[in-house]
Amino acid sequence: MRILIQIRPVPDVTSAVIHDPEKQTAADVAGDLPGVELDESYPPVALPKPVPKADDGDPLSMHQAMTFSLEPDSASVLVRGEIADDDVASRRARLSASNPDIVGIFSDPVIETMPVCPGDGPSGTWQDVGDRLKVPELLAHGMDGAGVPIAVVDTGINADHLVTAGAEIAVDAARSWTPASASHTPGRFDVGHGTMCAFAAGIAAPQAALLDIALLRTRRRARNRMEALTSDGIVAFAYLRTILESMEQDHKALVVSSNSWGSYDPAWDFPVGDPANYSDNLSHPFNIVVGALESAGADILFAAGNCGRPCPSGKCVYSERTIVGANSHPDVLSIGGVDIQDERVGYSSQGPGRLDRHKPDICAYTHFLGSEVYGPGSADSGTSTACPVAAGVLAAIRSRFPCGTISPEAMREMVRGAANDVTGRGFTDDYGHGIVSVPGLLEKLGVQGLI
């Protein structure tokens, strides 16, 4: 079984991982761990320490406002390895007891893209979506995403196809990230899921810069789909934090992450209640790095998933509460899907979420004719499309309202409060707070006379 091992070495070793990670190996950090086959291809990753913001906060709870420390004397380090599949519980216990530097052992479940069940053709076009989002008005007033990087964390982008499909948005190859195991260069991947997401992000923010974060190229192609592990996501999010910190202070914190993937099967995880669990555990390392990136200034969006009760993907195994792990993180916007008639698409996952009960946060548009990455006339579909549509809206807004003036937390509250409540019942498990509304959001921001 593949596991993540959290280690707290001496501060000098942690400092080396923080400041010069490419020169460190798993063995440098963990030494010899009997019974564990360390994955030397996986770079050690520094894990920030979550600390309650309030002086009287509960140091043992993650269910409160947190800050994250990467100081060498408080951070820890993650390495990846495998243990034998027999008697896993006993092996984990003995491993923890064998080395006082080990402070945690966690699951490393598979994550993958979110295809939907086959069915109806596209409903409307991407231009219709642009009209619903008031894109012409946004562009006329300089809200076009200029200066805002959108990190498309997915299977990789094909820039040529974006141009062919009519998109203006460009890939910033210099600040993109390609896994060591992938042979392609940023913007030159095969046409597919990542290109569809990039196209959707560009509808509302054509002047944003796409960061091609090809996470799902990390591991393998399996049964005609792309997979990775949450441990790969930790590396990608650690990289995004370096991008954020490299920005000039006055323009810092403008990264918008679009994550159209998730975990479908509890068999890939440790059981709920187990300290090593991912799906329901805010203390899992991946959920910590998500919170740390948001705390550093990133707006983070995750697709809610395609396990809606009327038409779930055939891969959905969770029988209830299908918005799992980071897709339901309290510090992200979880995005469901509606068509251009404002009807929730049947496959869009409903709440409650597992980490935060009030998920999805909002819905955005999907199932329209757009990139046609899956052939002429095919729909851009799933919450995989709705998520980058919403990310593009935030990037457009951020081009006038950077994170230095409105924090990601405050922006999430505005997005929720501005949503079009089509049910008239406030928050619901189907629509969240409603459908993304540009006019409502601008009103919240105090922009007058635009729309």
- Distance, in Å, from the CA atom of 128 to the CA atom of 38, rounded to the nearest integer, reads 51
Instruction: Answer for the pair 211, 177: CB distance below 8 angstroms, yes or no.
Output: yes
Angle ∠(317,427,359) on CA atoms, nearest 5? 35
Tell me if residue 302 falls in helix, strand or coil.
Answer: strand
Number of other residues whose CB lies within 10 A of the CB of residue 160: 12
Token pair belonging to 27:
């063995």
Which residues, 6+ apart, have CB-to-CB distance to 419 below 8 Å? 362, 432, 433, 434, 435, 436, 437, 440
Run of H or E including 29? helix 26-30
Find the DSSP H helices in 150-308: 159-164, 193-201, 230-245, 285-296
Of 108, 154, 232, 361, which is the active-site residue? 154
154 is catalytic: yes
Tokens 């006329």, located at residue: 140
Of 263, 348, 384, 437, which is the active-site residue? 384
280 is catalytic: no
Token pair belonging to 254:
């403008």
Token pair belonging to 161:
């196809």
**Core vs surface per residue 338-368: b (16+ CB within 10 A) or e:** bbbeeebbbbbbbbebbbbebbbbbbbbbbb
Cα dist. 106→79, 81, 287, 416 in Å? 11, 11, 12, 32
384 is catalytic: yes
Run of H or E including 211? strand 209-213
Of 161, 193, 367, 433, which is the active-site residue? 193
What is the 8-class DSSP label of residue 103?
E
Run of H or E including 128? helix 126-132
**Catalytically annotated residues:** 154, 193, 384
